Amino acid sequence: MTAPVLSAKGITKSFGGRAVLKGIDLDAHRGDVVSILGGSGSGKSTFLRCLNLLEMPDAGTIEITGTRAPLVHDRQGKARIDNPKALGALRAKTAMVFQNFNLWSHMTVLDNIVAAPVHVHGTPRAQAVERAHALLEKVGMTGFAAHWPMQLSGGQQQRVAIARALATDPDLMLFDEPTSALDPERVREVLDLMRALAGEGRTMLIVTHEMAFAREVSSHVVHVRDGVIESMGPPAVMFGADASPVFRGFLSPH
Amino acid sequence: MDFFATTALGLIAAIPVTLLLFVASAIGSSLIAGGLVAAQQSRITRPIAQAWIFVFRGTPLLLQIFMVYYGLAALGPIRHGWLWPAFREPLFCAWLAMTCCCSAYIAEVLRGALTAIPKGQIEAALACGMGRWTRLRRVIMPQMLRLALPSYGNELVMMIKSTSLASSITVLDVTGVASQVIAHSYRTLEVFCLAAAVYLCMTAALTALLRRIERSLAPAGSRRA
C-alpha cells in the first residue's frame, strides 16, 4: 500500500477549557474523497482547520506527503510551531476552499489565481497566468479574469476560489462547507464542479451538509460527533442497512 | 499695488514653507506610525509604542512645539551638541514636534485599519502557505492602505492646518506672514480672511487628490456611481 497523502494522528483541541476535538486519527490516500459529516459544534470544521494549522491543535501529528510541522509546547502547555518554513511547506501542499470564498478583494480574479503559484511556489508569472486561464475555463469562468471578486455572484466567487485552490496543484484539497453560504440555486454549480474534481482523482476532504452529494461522490464518509470519529466507512456501508445507529439518528433525527 | 494684492502675493510666497513643513511631517509621521503599528504586534515593544501614542496624542501640539524649540534649547547636550544647528532652526523644531504628534494619530488610524481587515482574507493567505513577508506585502498592506485611506486623508487635512502653529515659534509660513502683515497694518480681519482662503485652496487640492487615490484603490465592484 502506498504512503497516505494525509496522515493525522491524535488531534486534540480545546477552546477555553472546552474540548472540541478529543483525539482524531484520519488517513487519506491519493484520490480519496472524504466527506466529513456531523452536527454543528461537533468539531468537524475545527478538525479540517487543524489539518492546515489555521487552527493550532493542542496535540497530535499531521503529515502531508512526507512533510511535517511538529508542534512544540511552551511552559504553559500552549502548542505552537516554531519552524515557519515547515509550516509554510505543509500549507503549500494543501489548498483550502472556504465557506465564505475569501477571495482577496483587492485583486482581480486572475491575480487571485496566480498569487500562490507566483509568490509562494516561485512559478514564472507568464506560466502561472497561462495555467490560470486554463483553470478559469475548467471552472466555467472564462472571460472573468479581469473582474473583481465583488462583481461576481456567490457561486461564481466559489468557482474562482476553487480555481485558485487548483492553481498550485495541491496534494490535498480542504473544503470547509463550500456550499453553505450559497443560494440554493447556486449550490449545484459548485457541487458539479467538485464532482468533476473527484472524478479526476483529486484528494479531497470535504466538510459538508450536502448528504446526497456525500453519499454519491465520496469514497469515505466520516461522522464526527462530540470531537471524536463516531463512525466511518464507504458510503455504501454508512448509508446502508448496517449503518451505525448514531449516524442514522443524525441523518434522520425523527 | 493696493494692499490686498501685496498681501495676497506675500501669503502666496509663503506657501512653499507651509507645504514643506506639511510634506516633511506627513512623510516623517507616516513612517513612524508604520513603525509604531509594527511595534504594537510584539509583546515586548508594545508598551513603548503605547507610551509614545499616549504622550503625543494626549498633549497639545502647541506645547510640544514650544518644548522642542524653547525647552530642548535650554538643555546643555542639545545646546552644545552636534545637533544644535538643527535645533536652532524653528522650522526643524516645528517639523520634529509635528512628526511625533501626528505619528501617534496616524498609528491609531493604521491600527484600526489593520484590525478591520476581514479575517478570511488573512486566512486565505495563510492557507496557501504565504510566509510572513509575502502575507504582509501581498495581502495585509494593500488591504490596510485601502481601509485606512479615508481617515488617513482626514489626518493629512488636519496636518495642513496644524502647520500654522509653527508661526508661534517665528516660522514664516502662511500664518506667520499674515501675523507679520497685521503687526504693521492692523487690518486683522482682511489679512486673516486672505490667509484662510490660501489654506482653503491647499486643503481643497489635497482633498481632491485624496478622493482620486481613494477611487483608484477601491475595487471596481465596490465603486458607486
ipTM: 0.92
Residue B77's pLDDT is 77
Measured in whole angstroms, how far is the alpha carbon of residue B139 from the centre of its chain? 25
CATH numeric code, B3-222: 1.10.3720.10
Residue B219 touches partner A, C-beta closer than 8 Å: yes
Pick from A209, A158, A215: nearest CA to A180: A209
Say what the pLDDT of residue A254 is. Answer: 67
CA-nearest of B132, B141, B146, B138 to B210 is: B146
pLDDT of res. A133: 96
Nearest CA in chain A to B132: A84
Which pLDDT belongs to residue B224?
A: 44
Cβ contacts of A96 on chain B, cutoff 8 Å:
123-124, 127-128
Interface test with A, best of B43, B123, B126, B128 (most A CBs within 10 A): B128
Residue B151 has pLDDT above 90, yes or no: yes
- pLDDT tens across B165-191, in order? 999 999 999 999 999 999 988 988 989
Q: How many Å apart are CA B218 and CA B146, to the nearest integer?
A: 7
pLDDT band at residue B86 under the 50/70/90 scheme: confident
Cell of B129: 502557505
Picking from A32-41, A56-65, A234-243, B80-89, which range would have the lowest pLDDT averaged per residue? Answer: B80-89
Q: Which of B120, B127, B138 is the closest to A52 by Cβ?
A: B127
Q: How far is CA A237 from the centre of its chain?
A: 23
Q: What is the distance in angstroms between the Cα of A213 and the nearest Cα belonging to chain B?
A: 25
Provide mean pLDDT across the span A108-117.
Answer: 96
pLDDT surpasses 80 at B37: yes
Summarize pLDDT for B184-213 with one digit per residue, the tens: 889 889 899 999 999 999 999 999 999 998
Q: Which triple of cell numbers denotes residue B53?
A: 501614542
The whole-angstrom separation of Cα B182 and Cα B164 is 15
Question: Which residue is listed with cell 434522520?
Answer: A252
d(CA A38, CA A59): 22
Query: Which residue in this structure is represented by grid cell 497516505?
Result: A4
Measure CB to CB from residue B131 to each of A84, A105, A164 and give the nearest one: A84
Q: Which helix (H) or strand (E) holds A68?
A: strand A67-68
Strands A72-73 and A79-80: what pairing?
A: antiparallel
Global model pTM greater than 0.90: no
| pLDDT digits 0-9 by tens, A160-185 | 999 999 999 999 999 999 999 998 88
Residue type, A243: A
A1-93+171-182+201-254 homologous superfamily? P-loop containing nucleotide triphosphate hydrolases (3.40.50.300)
- Contact between A91 and B132 using a beta-carbon 8 Å cutoff: no
Alpha-carbon distance A170 to nearest alpha carbon in chain B (angstroms): 9
Distance from CA of B46 to the nearest CA of A (A): 21
Is the CB of residue B154 less than 8 Å away from at least one CB of chain A?
Answer: no
- Whole-number Å distance between alpha carbons of A134 and B65: 61
Tell if the CB–CB gap between B123 and A116 is shorter than 8 Å: no
Domain coordinates in residue numbering, chain A: 1-93+171-182+201-254, 102-169
A11 with A23: CB under 8 angstroms? yes
Q: For residue A19, give how far its alpha carbon lies from the nearest alpha carbon of chain B (Å).
A: 23
Contact between B34 and B145 under an 8 Å Cβ cutoff? The reply is no
Measured distance CA(A167)–CA(A87) in Å, rounded: 19
Nearest-CB residue to B128 (from A147, A149, A168): A168
| B125 interfaces chain A, CB cutoff of 8 Å | yes
Phi, psi of A64 (to 5 degrees): -125, 115
What integer is the mean pLDDT of A71-77?
85
Q: Half-sphere exposure of B157 toward its Cβ, with a 13 Å CA cutoff?
A: 17
Helix, strand, coil percent values for chain A (each to nearest 5)? 35, 25, 40
Residue % of chain B over a pLDDT of 70 = 96
pLDDT tens, position by position, A28-44: 999 999 999 998 889 99
| Per-residue pLDDT, B225 | 38
Grid cell digits, residue B220: 471596481
Contact B146 A106 (CB under 8 A): yes
Instruction: Read off the pLDDT band of B221 (50, 70, 90).
Output: low
Lowest-confidence pick of A138-147, B11-20, B27-36, B70-79: B70-79
3-state secondary structure A111-158: HHHHHHHHHCCCCCHHHHHHHHHHHHHHCCCCCCCCCCHHHCCHHHHH
CA distance A109 to chain B (A): 12
